[in-house]
């Protein structure tokens, strides 16, 4: 059976981002994978009950998704509201779906405090980036799912072809 790919809903054109927008990934392989039934779409944050639009959120204290999973860091909105529990639930939902659907891979949009894998923001809401995983990406990796960012789609194509 072909391996499936868990994919960020906003990359698939769903307007689920905090600002009410999508960020569609325009690559011909997406249609191929869709036709093959490989794609399993989720917005982890919406699966945890978060609404659209919602205030931007970052992992506080220049920490990472792994720190949040370990209880060492929190996720906060620009308003100051603590949304750590929602982000943890979002990550659990994504892992459950990935494992149930047989997703060996995930293709997630970079920069998000949930879906980011190459980089996230440093918690100051100043636009400063740092290397690291969001909470969902960290949880998926811990569960054995290979995570690729939207910038790494060519690597995912090569990996699937192996
Ligand atoms: Fe996109 Fe992931 Fe944020 Fe949902 S949680 S809007 S899928 S980046």
Q: Between β-strands 103-108 and 75-77, what pairing exists: parallel, antiparallel or unpaired?
A: unpaired
Q: By three-state DSSP, how is residue 33 classified?
A: helix
Start-to-end Cα distance in the chain = 15
pLDDT tens digits, one per residue of 15-72: 999 999 999 999 999 999 999 999 999 999 999 999 999 999 999 999 999 999 999 9
Question: How many Å lie between the centroid of ligand 1 and the Cα of residue 69?
Answer: 18
Place 2 in a pLDDT band, splitting at 50, 70 and 90: confident
Tokens 């698939």, residue located: 12
* Ligand 1 centroid, distance to 47 Cα (angstroms): 10
Task: Report whether the peptide linkage leading into residue 53 is cis, meaning its omega lies within 30 degrees of zero.
Answer: yes
Distance 142 CA to ligand 1 centre (A): 19
CA distance 62 to 72: 12
pLDDT the model gives residue 141: 98
Strand 119-121 to strand 129-131: parallel, antiparallel, or no bridges (unpaired)?
A: antiparallel
Q: At which residue do the structure tokens 């290397």 appear?
A: 131
Q: What pLDDT is recorded for position 1?
A: 63
Quick check: 80 pLDDT over 80?
A: yes
Any residues with Cβ below 6 Å from ligand 1, and which?
8-10, 16-17, 43-45, 109, 112, 114-115
- The rounded distance, in Å, linking the Cα atoms of 128 and 137 is 19
How many Å separate Cα 77 from the centre of its chain? 17
Helix (H, G, I), strand (E, B) or coil at 98: helix
Mean pLDDT, rounded, of the chain: 97
What's the CA angle centered on 152, arms 147 and 155, to 5 degrees? 90
Greatest extent of the chain over all pairs of C-alpha atoms, in Å: 46
The protein residue with its alpha carbon nearest to ligand 1, atom 1, reads 10
Residue 131 has pLDDT above 70, yes or no: yes
**Residue 94 confidence (pLDDT) above 80:** yes
* Protein residue with its CA nearest to atom 4 in ligand 1: 43
Measure 36 CA to ligand 1 centroid, in angstroms: 23
Distance CA 50, CA 47 (A): 7
Mean pLDDT of 101-117: 98
Q: Which 3 state secondary structure label does DSSP give 59?
A: strand
User: Above pLDDT 90, what percent of the chain?
Assistant: 97
């Amino acid at each position: 059976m072909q391996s499936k790919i868990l994919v960020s809903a906003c990359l698939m054109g769903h307007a689920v981002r905090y600002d009410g927008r999508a960020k569609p990934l325009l690559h011909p392989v997406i249609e191929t994978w869709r036709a093959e039934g490989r794609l399993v779409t989720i917005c982890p944050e919406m699966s945890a009950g978060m609404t659209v639009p919602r205030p931007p959120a970052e992992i506080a204290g220049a920490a990472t998704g792994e720190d949040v999973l370990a209880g060492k860091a929190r996720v906060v909105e620009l308003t100051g509201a603590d949304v750590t529990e929602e982000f943890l639930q979002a990550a659990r939902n994504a892992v459950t779906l990935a494992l149930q659907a047989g997703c060996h891979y995930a293709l997630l949009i970079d920069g998000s405090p949930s879906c980011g894998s190459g980089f996230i923001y440093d918690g100051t809401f100043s636009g400063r980036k740092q290397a690291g995983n969001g909470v969902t990406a960290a949880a998926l990796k811990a569960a054995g799912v290979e995570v690729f960012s939207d910038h790494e789609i060519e690597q995912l194509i090569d990996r699937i072809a192996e």
